[in-house]
């Protein structure tokens, strides 16, 4: 009985070992200001593309986050979900409802005009997901603050 109750530890240990070894391999990481010397306007260009799309359709924000998730979920954040073709990840059944490709394409077009071949598609996707979450969070914070203010007035 004691042996059976501790059998669950084996898969747990394997999972922990796999996660530790995979995190040790990761070297390059995108951070704020990463492109400040090679493409100084990169983050602003992506932000502008996301803001423009968000103004037209606020529901694009979760679409961009989902797009980033689907890119990173399969084999790491490599931009593979952006590649189109009959056997490409973008054409997979689970990815057919994903939105936001046009936002990434718009940002990529502007970035290529500004600094060709510098910013990777995976990084554009990561920046766009970050900016979309930031836009939604700021709006949610504003709504919360306004609601709080209105509730204070009503309660007086």
- Residue 16 tokens, joined: 């922990």
Q: Answer whether 77's CB lies under 8 Å from 125's CB.
A: yes
Which of 112, 87, 82, 79 lies closest to 100 in space, CA to CA?
82
78 is in an annotated binding site: yes
71 is in an annotated binding site: yes
Q: Answer whether 64's CB lies under 8 Å from 128's CB.
A: yes
- What are the residue numbers of the active site? 70
46 is in an annotated binding site: no
63 is in an annotated binding site: no
Query: Chain-centre distance of CA 114, in angstroms?
Result: 22
- Helix locations, 76-120, DSSP H: 101-114
Which residues are part of a known binding site?
A: 71, 74, 76, 78, 80, 89
Binding site members for Ca(2+) = 71, 74, 76, 78, 80, 89
């Amino acid at each position: 009985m004691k042996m059976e109750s501790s059998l669950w530890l084996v898969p747990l240990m394997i999972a922990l070992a796999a996660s530790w070894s995979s995190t040790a391999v990761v070297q390059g990481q995108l951070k704020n200001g990463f492109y400040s010397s090679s493409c100084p306007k990169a983050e602003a260009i992506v932000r502008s593309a996301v803001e423009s799309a968000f103004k037209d359709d606020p529901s694009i924000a979760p679409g961009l986050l989902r797009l980033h998730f689907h890119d990173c979920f399969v084999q790491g954040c490599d931009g593979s979900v952006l590649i189109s073709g009959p056997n490409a990840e973008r054409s997979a059944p689970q990815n057919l409802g994903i939105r936001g490709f046009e936002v990434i394409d718009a940002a990529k077009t502007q970035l290529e005009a500004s600094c060709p071949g510098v910013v990777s598609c995976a990084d554009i996707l990561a920046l766009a997901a970050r900016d979309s979450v930031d836009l939604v969070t700021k709006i949610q914070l504003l709504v919360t603050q306004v609601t709080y203010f209105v509730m204070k007035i009503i309660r007086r």
